[in-house]
Amino acid sequence: MSEQVRFVQGNEACVEAALYAGLGFFAGYPITPSTEIAELLALKLPQRGGKFIQMEDEISSMCAIIGASLAGGKAMTATSGPGFSLMQEALGYAIMTEIPCIIVNVQRGGPSTGLPTHVAQGDVNQTRWGVHGDHSIIVLTASSAQDVFAMTVEAFNLAETYRTPVILLFDEVVAHTRERLLVPEPGVLPLVERLTTSVPENVNYHPYLPREDGRLPMSDFGGIHRYNVTGLFHDMWGFPTEDPKTVHELLRHLVDKIENRTHIIAHYQTYHVEDAEFLIISYGCSARSARQLVEDRRLRGDRIGLLELQTLWPFPAHIVQQLSAGKKAVIVAEMNTGQVTASVKAAADDPDRVFLANRLDGQFITHYDIRNVLRLVQGKGV
């Protein structure tokens, strides 16, 4: 067998995938339930000649990975809610300056210190709108160690392709559940390497001048080209500008480069959706229970299917609209007060047929919790 079989936590699957994707630099700060990612990378990165640093807080961790990525290394940090809140300003800087990097947020109960060792999915909208100012962002999630691996590799690929930070939004259950992982042989999963400029030394390089295909080739900061990078609105040289046309075009570019490619970036899985009368939409740990419910009810003859979202942002409204059309009801299973539910209602032809099945008490949502909502919707008693 060519693949390597492992028995790992989701956090370890994330580490294995990051190394598979070519991670060269990690900066982080300890926080439950993400800490295993930092611990494992402290062990494994230097074995490959990479760099690990434990910074003084999450603010500096985010700043350090931006500095390292700009200089040419694939860079990542990992945190949970409180730390993710601290990272927002620098995350906006990475968006504005178009520096690829990966931020893992292993969700726990919030707000504030909340429930550090318990599960929740309350950060979905923060990943989209935590940064001030208009922008767009890519957020991926996963429900199993195997999918954590796949989505982590994909996050690195999307970050390099679109020159943007990508958030991996996991949760405590997926991060700490031990299960089987098949680590693919090198070369099996495609990797996107950094697009570097062909401009030779001693010729002016414009860090923000797009090629014909819209992509912005990079030049390792501190290398053969000297240029400026700023979080201010900037021109193709990277120099501050208040020119209205340039400002408008940059903001449109930052949003459109992601929003216009929603159909490419959308990752999802479907189970029994073809003939379904009822559709469950879920993601992350909640999707594990949703899948259990679908399998149970199918055995009883219920025509029920599952759409598991793996790309949360940009929101795959076209998929949701298409799969929810004509259903008797759509139930969104998530561990928050309805953050994805709101996006599903906005995408669905009939928002009145969209219902929420949730848990807010730090306890993992079960297939019974979702079944109870299904039965209410079906007009049956719980």
Partner 1 sequence: MAVRDYLRERFFPHIWCPGCGHGVVLNSLLRTVEELGFTKNQIAVVSGIGCSSRISGYVDFHTLHTLHGRALAFATGLKLQKPDLRVIVPMGDGDALAIGGNHFLHAARRNIDLTAIVMNNRTYGMTGGQYSPLSGVGTAATTAPYGNIDPGFDTVRLAAAAGATFVARTTTYHVQQLVKILGEAIQHQGFSVVEVLSQCPTYFGRKNKAGSAVDMMRQFKDQTTPVGSEAKQSNPALIERGVFVREQRPEYCAAYDEVVRRAQGGR
30 near partner 1 (CB under 8 A): no
What is each CA distance from 82 to 219, 285, 296, 304, in whole angstroms? 34, 20, 37, 37
Q: Is 4 helix (H, G, I), strand (E, B) or coil?
A: strand
Interface residue with partner 1 among 1, 2, 5, 47 (CB under 8 A) is 47
60 near partner 1 (CB under 8 A): yes
Q: Which stretch binds partner 1 (CB under 8 A): 47-55, 208-216, 321-329, 349-357?
A: 47-55
Nearer to partner 1, 116 or 231 (CB): 231
Tokens representing 191 are 């990797």
Interface residue with partner 1 among 22, 32, 39, 67 (CB under 8 A) is 67
Contact 199, 219 (CB under 8 A): yes
- Strand 311-313 with 138-140, pairing: antiparallel
Interface residue with partner 1 among 233, 239, 268, 271 (CB under 8 A) is 239
Nearer to partner 1, 31 or 173 (CB): 31
Residue 318's CB: how many other CB atoms inside 10 A? 12
- Give the footprint of partner 1 on residues 69-128 (CB under 8 A): 69-73, 75, 89-90, 93
Nearer to partner 1, 43 or 346 (CB): 43
Interface residue with partner 1 among 59, 192, 209, 236 (CB under 8 A) is 59
Nearest Cα to Cα of residue 344 among 317, 312, 305? 317
The secondary structure of 268-297 as a DSSP string is EEEES-TT-SEEEEE-HHHHHHHHHHHHHH
- Centroid of chain to Cα 12: 17
User: Using CA atoms, how far apart are residues 239 and 88, in angstroms rounded to an integer?
Assistant: 23
Tokens representing 311 are 């790309």
68 near partner 1 (CB under 8 A): yes
Q: How far is the CB of 136 from partner 1 (least distance, A)?
A: 20
Q: How far is the CB of 151 from partner 1 (least distance, A)?
A: 24
User: Using CA atoms, how far apart are residues 354 and 367, in angstroms rounded to an integer?
Assistant: 18
27 near partner 1 (CB under 8 A): yes
Nearest Cα to Cα of residue 253 among 91, 129, 98, 133? 98
Name 200's Cβ contacts closer than 8 Å, sequence gap at least 6.
Answer: none
Look-up: residue for tokens 């630099």? 25
Nearest Cα to Cα of residue 192 among 218, 158, 243? 158
294 near partner 1 (CB under 8 A): no
Name 141's Cβ contacts closer than 8 Å, sequence gap at least 6.
Answer: 151, 168, 169, 170, 171, 283, 284, 309, 310, 311, 312
Interface residue with partner 1 among 10, 24, 314, 316 (CB under 8 A) is 24
Nearest Cα to Cα of residue 124 among 376, 375, 371, 356? 356
Q: Which stretch binds partner 1 (CB under 8 A): 22-30, 117-125, 206-214, 252-260?
A: 22-30
227 near partner 1 (CB under 8 A): yes
Interface residue with partner 1 among 30, 111, 210, 240 (CB under 8 A) is 240
Q: How far is the CB of 252 from partner 1 (least distance, A)?
A: 23
Say if residue 3 is exposed, middle or buried (CB neighbours under 10 Å; 0-12, 13-18, 19+).
exposed
Size of the site for partner 1 (CB under 8 A): 44
Nearer to partner 1, 54 or 117 (CB): 54
- Give the footprint of partner 1 on residues 207-226 (CB under 8 A): 220-224, 226
Interface residue with partner 1 among 119, 120, 155, 229 (CB under 8 A) is 229
Q: How far is the CB of 92 from partner 1 (least distance, A)?
A: 9
Interface residue with partner 1 among 5, 56, 187, 274 (CB under 8 A) is 56
Q: How far is the CB of 20 from partner 1 (least distance, A)?
A: 18
What are residue 105's phi and psi, to 5 degrees? -120, 105
Q: How far is the CB of 46 from partner 1 (least distance, A)?
A: 4
Interface residue with partner 1 among 63, 276, 279, 323 (CB under 8 A) is 63
Q: Which residues bind partner 1 (CB under 8 A)?
A: 24-25, 27, 43, 46-47, 49, 51, 53, 55-57, 59-61, 63-73, 75, 89-90, 93, 220-224, 226-232, 239-240
